[in-house]
Chains A and B, each alone.
Chain A
């Protein structure tokens, strides 16, 4: 499959898959909470409804930042699925997150302001581990290109078990799930109301939702990369990881930022760095 076709499939299929994943997420969560939950297509209904709502903004430029957030998230995924440089992907991902934070700062509400600050702290928490993941993949495959990593003959996870576990940990943060939903919780039941997205409504909020769909598909794609030599196993593990994320969401209280940051760095240092150290010593 040429990289252009993969790119095209990503652009069209990612929001559909992402939306369905979000629908399953709500369904499975509801069942774990002894509820029935909404229909599978509820996320799409939500976005359609948001799209029809009157747009109310504090400052008009805040929606501009959200548009860039969406575009950069799509760009990140596009780079990834086109088989480009993993470091470039990480750079684009960070830039996207920064635009999200800037949008929240722009709204100048105390809730979204503190939400934005917490989001920056969370970025500090997951960024080292994400970089270590890229480095670990490079050490095994001798390339930073997703294309090369994906076509590597062995299962990456066998050489990088620590990095894989560490990556799962950061995944919890990136999915904004409990215990790391401190910058913006899904249920708006926190001291910051809904934190970073408090002041977004209507179409801007719909764009945020769509961006999350793209982002989640891209992140699960990265999980797949650890098992790329065995595609079926890769897809199965990606879905399993998604269920694991939902389960974790349902069995943890929200942590405070101090605990979140500390634990993420400990995980990065022990699992991520330790794994890479062992790899380089074995060589």
Chain B
């Protein structure tokens, strides 16, 4: 039929539970492979600065002398390049996205 093509779908969904979730009240289910926030493990890091050199957005800063590792969360695009090249596996991407960054401050570790 040419008219009311949509009515079957509309009526069916009127009686089905919606697939959406009440987001801020129900947290989003993280998918296993999702690229979320960058996580830094201080213990194994040798401050070799490879991650800072290779970061495509320049979000990372490493000071070898003072043994400081810093990230600008607003610049980080969660691409995972640093995780791939870190020789000591001190970096990892968690599946959760964390709370959004609102300032340009660097986070020091």
A142 is an interface residue with CB less than 8 A from chain B: no
Contacts of A34 in B (CB 8 A): 13, 16, 18-20
Contacts of B7 in A (CB 8 A): 247, 251
Given contacts A250-B6, A251-B5, A251-B7, contact A36 B14 (CB under 8 A): no
**What 1/0 mask marks residues of chain B from 3 to 17 whose CB sits below 8 Å from any chain A CB?**
011110011011010
Quick one: which of B4, B5, B10, B22 contacts A32, CB cutoff 8 A? B10
Contacts of B14 in A (CB 8 A): 28, 31-32
The size of the chain B interface, using a CB distance under 8 A, is 13
A252 to B3, CA, bound (A): 8
Contacts of B10 in A (CB 8 A): 32-33, 247, 250-251
| B86 smallest CB distance to A (angstroms) | 42
Interface residue tally on A, bucketed by range: 10 to 19
Contact B13 A31 (CB under 8 A): yes
- Main SS class of interface, B: loop
A35 is an interface residue with CB less than 8 A from chain B: yes
Residue of B nearest to A253 (CB): B6
A31 to B18, CA, bound (A): 7
- Main SS class of interface, A: helix
Contacts of B20 in A (CB 8 A): 34-36
Contacts of B22 in A (CB 8 A): 36
| B5 smallest CB distance to A (angstroms) | 7
A34 to B7, CA, bound (A): 13
| B8 smallest CB distance to A (angstroms) | 9
Cβ < 8 Å to B, chain A residues 156-199: none
Contacts of A252 in B (CB 8 A): 6
A30, A31, A35: residue with the most chain B Cβ atoms closer than 10 Å: A31
Contact B13 A33 (CB under 8 A): yes
A45 to B19, CA, bound (A): 26
Contacts of B6 in A (CB 8 A): 250-252
A251 to B1, CA, bound (A): 13
A31 to B20, CA, bound (A): 10
Further 17 A-B residue pairs, CB within 8 A, beyond A28-B14, A251-B10: A31-B13, A31-B14, A31-B18, A32-B11, A32-B14, A33-B10, A34-B13, A34-B16, A34-B20, A35-B18, A36-B18, A36-B20, A247-B7, A251-B4, A251-B6, A251-B7, A252-B6
